[in-house]
Chain A
Amino acid sequence: MTLSKEGFRSITGMTGPLVFVSGISDAGYGELVTIESPEGRRLGQVLQIDKDITTVQVFDGTMGLDTGNCTVWLERDVVRMPLGNGLIGRVMNGRGESLDGEALSFVEDILPVTGMPINPYMRESPNAYIETGISTIDMMNTLVRGQKLPVFSGAGLPANRMAAQIVRQATIPGRETSFLVVFAAMGITRREAQFFMDIFNETGAVNNGVFFVNLASDSAVERLLTPRMALTAAEYFAFVKGYDVLVILTDMLHYCESLREIGAAREEVPGRRGYPGYMYSDLSEIYERAGCVRGSVGSVTQIPIITMPDDDMTHPVVDLSGYITEGQIVLDRGIHDRVGYPPVNVLPSLSRLMNKGIGRKRTFESHRALADQLYASYAKAKELEKLRLIVGDDGLTDTEKDYLRFGDAFERKFVNQGDTRRSLAESERISWECFRELPRKELYRLPEHYISRFWRSEGTRS
């Protein structure tokens, strides 16, 4: 049976991006509608059904719509994303429409963008090491295939540059194929978008990626669809086509602001800082769409970028993201100003899945111990720096001064690597260069046989 489309000329009110329609007796939750006005057609989605009143969010905004001359057509379907190999290399707007003028005519499958939760029982633990070529990540906060590891950045810090560097350099040792990149830009400026596209052009990722671009000037409602479009594509290529997919989501703060904008228009009870109470659930519907699953060779690895307003890690968007994602790479203004690039502050950074990707057979046996030692020594150096501010150099013991030298070497040599790509062996070598500043007995987290392999007496105190 085919249903002819039903139209309603009964818009009763509008506010912000929302349109209220009365008289629809069988509206579908989350389904698409088309709003036809004398000026053209706009797409919207049913956001709430409350007896006689159906609330619709309009992707293109409500400006110019009126209550008398518009018809609301029910499309009788949820929002879907056309999928197929032909998607690779294409640039689309935030709702999956082609931006390069050609229609998307390759469709092999068409799936709802909300996706479905992955059955936790059907997941496989991520356990393959990804080499990003960045010391602070590979050595101390290892990224693992199938992980979701965000970059927390302050405004103006080079998070994009770092994300681009990861896209350029990331490889899975032992695997021939490189990553398929799925890129979702949400509310970023034209300049930032251009920066990424230039990098993608330069590295050839442009032919091996799928790109969704929602600019700052584009619709805020559309921004809510963008990551879902991107992840639907990512899941398809990973779990149906068997690709290792690397998803870059930038910037999740803008996404959450859109969420807040809609919430405010609906007059919902706000949570912290005006963000809606369901933001945790909403964000997890995005971040949890990563991982490895049984019976599929592909994987979805996510690197969301989140700007911390005022460098505040307790900001709700950053905080909730940290609770869902599997660690975080934190960029730090102090290190940016004082040390260089990439400005990773390793102390608050963390990779929860690191242990699964490292060690014997994966990287090297003492990887964990070396990372722990770097952490412990650097944390102590930073504590002592604070102490020095109070008591001065004279108040410190010789060993403590060694720690300060270690901290300095660590930042200067290990952290500050610039745009170069470092193999893990190089990162290891540089770690030992830094350790040379410390007395041997301070390396208490390293096994003896490992120390003796790297410890050289020249130029060091025993």
Chain B
Amino acid sequence: MTEGIILGISGPVVTVRSNAPVRMFEIAYVGNAHLLGEVIRIRRDQVDIQVYEDTNGVRSGEGCAFTGELLAVDLGPGILGSVLDGIGRPLKKLGEDGIFIRRGIHTGLLSHVQEMPFVPSVRVGDALRPGSFIGCSREGSHVEHRIMVPPFSRGGIVEYIAPEGRYALDRTICRVSDGEEYALSQKWRVRVPRPVQERLPLDRPLITGQRVLDTLFPLALGGAAVLPGGFGTGKTVTQQSLAKWCDADIIVYIGCGERGNEMTEVLEEFPELSDPWHDAPLMERLVLIANTSNMPVAAREASIYLGMTIAEYYRDMGYNVAIMADSTSRWAEALREIGGRLEEMPGEEGYPAYLGSRLAQYYERAGRVRALGEPDRSGSVTVINAVSPAGGDFSEPVTQASLRLSGAFWGLDKRLAQQRHFPAINWSQSFSLYEEILDPVFSKEIGPRRDELKQYLRAMLDNDRRLVELVQLVGRDGLSEEDKWILLMAELIRIVYLQQNAFSDADASCSTRKQFEILDILKRLDDVVRKRIFDGVVFEEIAEIPFLGDLLRIREFSETDFGAEASRWLNDQMNRVSGLAVMPK
């Protein structure tokens, strides 16, 4: 076995002299405490290792054992519902030792002694290719976990297939002609993308349930969105709302260098949630990777690859997976910190020069694909990454690099957040490149009036900006009666449509149908009032009507009741408005 002696220690980076050649990114056990680490630089016989655990108390002169293996994770039934640290250790298991995480504990993601159900779907004599289904297991009460021939294996003719029953994860359940054996679980190297048959066009929407996103800045299945925002702009709440309500089958949520209490919040809230799209409660469709800010920085670096590997695994089964990392900036800072310890030449703002290419390696693993093997199936991995720009300044390198790699940019705005306009997505700054492809898809589902309403929404938001500027120049008296109304109407749209209350049961998620209906009622209200203003009703009379309170109240109606309730309300308003006196011209 290759071994080494510790020469130097600087934070998470340990320098070792090895007695034989080692591989890049090989796993090593460092020091007497056997801390897990990964080789990140080799200079002759000196090897730099990033250590995934705290190095305090490690001494020079202690030993180091190289394993020859790369960082890999067990994939198999039992992943869903688990809470992992950045290198895939189940935190529940670590919690058996007390409230603090001790060092040097090695435990895999899956428990190999636990037996999981298996129902075969092939017979002796069937041909198997890499990626083909062998059978099916089950996670929780609802999620079908398809057992696949590992990619990069050879496949062959089935010689043995286990009958229906419960099996330990590493027991052979299938053997093919040339002797290859498959079990319920397989290992995968987290830094290597899982292969696919073919990449498919991104022409289907991921429904987020957030009005401002689905209407103005839609995201495609297999696409990538970035969510940048300074602190306090609601990144985490927005991302949690997306995790709770988007229509992906499986959610991988990575708390990457963020707060411990936020992870607890996820753990306490998510199990109770169910949504209209799925049979299974959210917690049974979720993997939570919790590498909080005070946990070792190198594991933060590894956590996003771990998450992506799990996402790809479920994608290969034919699921639509959404992976959310909060936040990319903390990951980039981990790179910067380790780069600094290695005394690498820094790039912009001290980040390593390879920041962009490393980020690309992550983002490019998103996509909608045709999976390997039989049956023919497609799945997707959609990336939604939060970015925490220093000082809220979007020109910093992590935001800019993410921007280049993603197709939707949902910029969070401090000013909106301070007005408690949530989600604080800035509608003039954000964009989605998927809009052109997805708009026809939405319109096909909902009807051609959606296009019209969307144009109306854009026009009103634009009018709002223009008129606010105008008012600041000439005062409100300089506006026509109609413009005064447009200002008020735009405010109604901002508050009733663009704002969404993440803490209200009825409003936290909004179906595309209800989104359309709310916008429709707003437009019809606008038409009614504008007509009366043309007739000569003065704006002051209209301004006395409490439209806003009413609209917020009816927004709380469920999708089934909303349409009727809103129409009734609109009728009342029509009567009310037509009763207003007209000023003689």
Contacts and interface: CB of A to CB of B under 8 A. Distances in A.
Interface string B236-262: 100000000000000000010101110
Nearest to B255: A120
A27 B60 contact: yes
Interface string A90-103: 00000000000000
B543 A399 contact: yes
B437 interface: no
Interface stretch (A44-52, A128-136, A191-199): A44-52
A294 B418 CA distance: 34
Contacts of A296: 99
A146 to B, nearest CB: 8
B477 interface: yes
B100 interface: yes
B264 A125 contact: yes
Interface stretch (A9-17, A56-64, A314-322, A425-433): A314-322
B94 to A, nearest CB: 6
A82 B294 CA distance: 23
A149 to B, nearest CB: 12
B197 to A, nearest CB: 38
B60 A25 contact: yes
Contacts of A123: 260-261, 263-264
Interface string A293-309: 11110000000000000
A277 B99 contact: no
Contacts of B472: 387, 390-391
Contacts of A327: 232
Contacts of B98: 119, 122
A157 interface: no
Interface in A232-252: 239
A29 interface: yes
A395 B477 contact: yes
A31 B391 CA distance: 35
B179 interface: no
B260 A322 contact: no
A319 B548 CA distance: 36
Given A316-B390, A376-B420, A328 B232 contact: yes
Contacts of A24: 60
B99 A293 contact: yes
A356 B237 CA distance: 14
B466 interface: no
Interface in A308-344: 314, 316, 319-320, 322-324, 326-328
A23 to B, nearest CB: 11
Contact of A28 (B8, B59, B475, B477): B59
A394 to B, nearest CB: 7
A380 B419 CA distance: 8
B58 interface: yes
Contacts of A28: 57-59
Interface in B80-94: 83, 91-92, 94
Given A118-B260, A379-B418, A444-B549, A387 B471 contact: yes
Contacts, number: 227
Query: Per DSSP, are chain A's interface residues mostly helix, strand or loop, or mixed?
Result: mixed
B448 interface: no
Nearest to B495: A444
Contacts of B59: 26-29, 31
A383 to B, nearest CB: 8
Contact of A295 (B99, B259, B334): B99
A49 B293 contact: no
A296 B8 CA distance: 39
B58 A29 contact: yes
Given A28-B59, A391-B472, A391-B475, A272 B10 contact: no
**Interface size class, chain B:** 35 or more
A119 B92 CA distance: 9
A8 interface: no
A416 B56 CA distance: 48
A125 B265 CA distance: 6
Name which of A112, A281, A320, A324 has the most chain B CB atoms within 10 A of its CB: A281
Interface string A136-173: 00000000001100000000000000000000000000
Nearest to B341: A278
A36 interface: no
Contacts of A375: 419-420
Interface string A268-301: 1111100011101100110011010111100000
A117 to B, nearest CB: 5
Contacts of A29: 9, 55-59
Given A112-B56, A280-B330, A288-B260, A294 B99 contact: yes
* A123, A239, A320 pick with most chain B CB within 10 angstroms: A123
A117 B101 contact: yes
A122 B61 contact: no
A355 interface: yes
Interface in B451-484: 471-477
B340 interface: yes
Contact of B546 (A288, A395, A441): A441
A119 B294 CA distance: 10
A117 B295 contact: yes
Contacts of A379: 418-420
A124 B293 contact: no
B505 interface: no
A114 interface: yes
Contacts of B350: 269-272, 277
A371 to B, nearest CB: 9
A280 B340 CA distance: 14
Contacts of A323: 231, 388
A123 B255 CA distance: 15
A278 B548 contact: no
B267 interface: yes
A349 to B, nearest CB: 9
A391 B503 contact: no
A126 interface: yes
B444 to A, nearest CB: 36
Tell me which of B58, B295, B477, B543 has the highest count of chain A C-beta atoms within 10 A of its own C-beta. B295
B61 A118 contact: no
A216 interface: no
Interface string A383-411: 10001001110111101000000000000
Contacts of B69: none
Given A30-B57, A117-B100, A122-B95, A278 B340 contact: yes
Given A28-B58, A291-B260, A368-B503, 6 more contacts: A48-B10, A118-B99, A278-B11, A285-B294, A323-B231, A441-B546
Q: Which 3 A-B pairs have the closest CB atoms?
A: A395-B475, A314-B391, A284-B293
20 contacts: A49-B8, A50-B15, A114-B54, A116-B102, A118-B100, A120-B290, A120-B292, A122-B91, A277-B340, A280-B333, A294-B95, A316-B390, A319-B391, A323-B388, A348-B418, A375-B419, A395-B471, A395-B476, A443-B549, A444-B552
Interface of B: 7-11, 15, 54-62, 83, 91-92, 94-95, 98-103, 230-232, 236, 255, 257, 259-261, 263-265, 267-268, 290, 292-295, 297, 330, 333-334, 336-337, 340, 343, 346, 349-350, 388, 390-393, 418-420, 471-477, 503, 540, 543-544, 546, 548-549, 552
